[in-house]
Amino acid sequence: MSEYKMNTKCVQGGYQPGNGEPRQIPIIQSTTFRYETSEDMGKLFDLEASGYFYTRLQNPTNDYVAAKIAELEGGTAAMLTSSGQAANFFALFNICECGSHIVASSSIYGGTFNLISVTMAKMGIEVTFVSPDCTKEELNAAFKDNTRAVFGETIANPALTVFDIEKFAKAAHEHGVPLIVDNTFPTPINCRPIEWGADIVTHSTTKYMDGHGAAVGGAIVDSGNFDWMAHAEKFPGLCTPDDSYHGVTYAEKFGKEGAFITKCTSQLMRDFGCIQSPQNAFILNLGLESLHVRMPRHVENGQAVAEFLQGHDKVLKVNYPGLKSDPYYEVAQKYLPNGGCGVVSFELKGGKPAAEAFMKELKLAAIETHVADARTCCLNPATSTHRQMTEEQLIEAGIPAGLIRISCGLEDKEDLIADLAQALDAVK
């Protein structure tokens, strides 16, 4: 499929049925798989043959969909996980252990921030957060001898900052470690981080890839570019024999192209079991079949809504990298020439009371913690996800009380703007 264009890969990538086989991806709703002989099964356990034995580790339905995502991102191997959180945890924990250190952008999803700064800290993995806008000097200064990975989000949720992938990839590679990029918001339709030097790409497929608010899931894609063996002292898990798999050395046996995902499947999926259900993988694939059709519409609606809000006298500020006035406009033009996503954030002049009055009047845009759905949804963090914070704490965290995040769906943009306009009229 690699010779085809993105639109074709979205529709037909990952699965090519043979003569008389189902046209649609079959849902292999089976926990286990049958073998003729113990020897046959033994080869699977020795990683001598590839095949399926238990759905906690691998399932064919998932692998068809993962193969499509690998094609879309331009990677050599991929796997699905039960959620975006699991994808980011696995991507990091596959190469980090107690005593390791991570350099991460400070502008990332709150769940990932907690994962790295609180939960992984309890495992003895340290982090240094850097601003996505840091200088090369500041970035280089964040590295330590025990740094094992660099992490960032192409477009951060919810700050909508844009990550300078090339800058971070260069610094990572100069220090002999891979760059992991969470590409959830733009999807491979609008940005392919591997083309800019990222080594590993992760996704919360819960967002645009599914796109219908139907199935929680995640994905990890390996570019196949990072030379683990050239930095073997840093990555013993990939470059020395795995005692739990009969002494296999992943980077030797599976090469640059396959080592990362094979280890992540055979160790982390085996031990943690955060697999996506085959049903969810099937639903995710339905979303992927129209991803290339939906993303431009999300961008069109996001741009129209951002422009409308920017011109409104009750709005203090709009964050959207597609606006010329946005501080990330230039970097977005480089990495996201066709636009980024449909998520816009804006601040109302009247603070929390204004936000409450506004949200109450919305008819099409539903109040939800979700984003990246076909249906428009919005959230005022100060009265919901961050309501335990005081006014001062909110300002410190860069979340003004009047800030609203709106995720523009696939409705008609004129209807969306009319809905926002009437709700803004209700704000005194």
Q: Smallest distance from the beta carbon of 220 to ligand PLP, in angstroms?
A: 12
Q: Smallest distance from the beta carbon of 218 to ligand PLP, in angstroms?
A: 6
Q: Smallest distance from the beta carbon of 214 to ligand PLP, in angstroms?
A: 12
Confirm or reject binding of residue 204 to ligand PLP (CB under 6 A). Answer: yes
Confirm or reject binding of residue 109 to ligand PLP (CB under 6 A). Answer: yes
Q: Smallest distance from the beta carbon of 4 to ligand PLP, in angstroms?
A: 27
The single residue among 26, 111, 350, 351 that binds ligand PLP, judged by CB under 6 A, is 111
Confirm or reject binding of residue 340 to ligand PLP (CB under 6 A). Answer: no
The single residue among 28, 66, 70, 216 that binds ligand PLP, judged by CB under 6 A, is 216
Confirm or reject binding of residue 206 to ligand PLP (CB under 6 A). Answer: yes
Q: Is the dihedral of CA 47, 50, 53, 55 positive or negative?
A: positive
Q: Are 222 and 180 in contact (CB under 8 A)?
A: no
Confirm or reject binding of residue 381 to ligand PLP (CB under 6 A). Answer: no
The single residue among 59, 147, 157, 223 that binds ligand PLP, judged by CB under 6 A, is 157
Q: Are 365 and 371 in contact (CB under 8 A)?
A: no
Structure tokens belonging to residue 252:
């030797």
Confirm or reject binding of residue 207 to ligand PLP (CB under 6 A). Answer: yes
Q: Smallest distance from the beta carbon of 105 to ligand PLP, in angstroms?
A: 11
Confirm or reject binding of residue 154 to ligand PLP (CB under 6 A). Answer: no
Q: Smallest distance from the beta carbon of 370 to ligand PLP, in angstroms?
A: 9
- Where does this chain touch ligand PLP (CB under 6 A) — which range of 81-89, 142-150, 286-294, 360-368? 81-89
Give the residue with the Cβ less far from ligand PLP, 61 or 112.
Answer: 112
Confirm or reject binding of residue 63 to ligand PLP (CB under 6 A). Answer: no
The single residue among 63, 71, 182, 419 that binds ligand PLP, judged by CB under 6 A, is 182
Size of the site for ligand PLP (CB under 6 A): 15
Q: Are 156 and 183 in contact (CB under 8 A)?
A: no
The single residue among 83, 105, 107, 280 that binds ligand PLP, judged by CB under 6 A, is 83
Q: Are 344 and 309 in contact (CB under 8 A)?
A: yes
Give the residue with the Cβ less far from ligand PLP, 58 or 85.
Answer: 85
Q: Smallest distance from the beta carbon of 303 to ligand PLP, in angstroms?
A: 20
- Where does this chain touch ligand PLP (CB under 6 A) — which range of 109-117, 241-249, 358-366, 376-384? 109-117
Confirm or reject binding of residue 85 to ligand PLP (CB under 6 A). Answer: yes
Confirm or reject binding of residue 274 to ligand PLP (CB under 6 A). Answer: no
Q: Smallest distance from the beta carbon of 193 to ligand PLP, in angstroms?
A: 13
The single residue among 84, 186, 211, 409 that binds ligand PLP, judged by CB under 6 A, is 84
Phi, psi of 120 (to 5 degrees): -70, -25
Residues 222-251 that bind ligand PLP (CB under 6 A): none
Minimal CA–CA distance to 187: which of 209, 170, 171, 169? Answer: 209
Give the residue with the Cβ less far from ligand PLP, 26 or 213.
Answer: 213
The single residue among 59, 100, 161, 184 that binds ligand PLP, judged by CB under 6 A, is 184
- Where does this chain touch ligand PLP (CB under 6 A) — which range of 106-114, 253-261, 285-293, 323-331? 106-114
Question: What SS3 string covers the chain?
Answer: CCCCCHHHHHHHCCCCCCCCCCCCCCCCCCCECCCCCHHHHHHHHCCCCCCCCECCCCCHHHHHHHHHHHHHHCCCEEEEECCHHHHHHHHHHCCCCCCCEEEEECCCCHHHHHHHHHHHHHCCCEEEEECCCCCHHHHHHCCCCCEEEEEEECECCCCCCECCHHHHHHHHHHCCCCEEEECCCCHHHHCCHHHHCCCEEEEECCCCCCCCCCCCCEEEEECCCCCHHHHCCCCHHHHCCEHHHCCECHHHHCHHHHHHHHHHHHHHHHHHCCCCCHHHHHHHHHHHCCHHHHHHHHHHHHHHHHHHHHCCCCEEEEECCCCCCCCCHHHHHHHCCCCCCCEEEEEECCHHHHHHHHHHHCCCCEECCCCCCCCCEEECHHHCCCCCCCHHHHHHCCCCCCEEEEECCCCCHHHHHHHHHHHHHCCC
Looking only at the bridges linking them, the beta strands covering 366-367 and 77-81 are: unpaired
Q: Smallest distance from the beta carbon of 204 to ligand PLP, in angstroms?
A: 3
Q: Which residues are at the interface with ligand PLP (CB under 6 A)?
A: 83-85, 109, 111-112, 153, 157, 182, 184, 204, 206-207, 216, 218
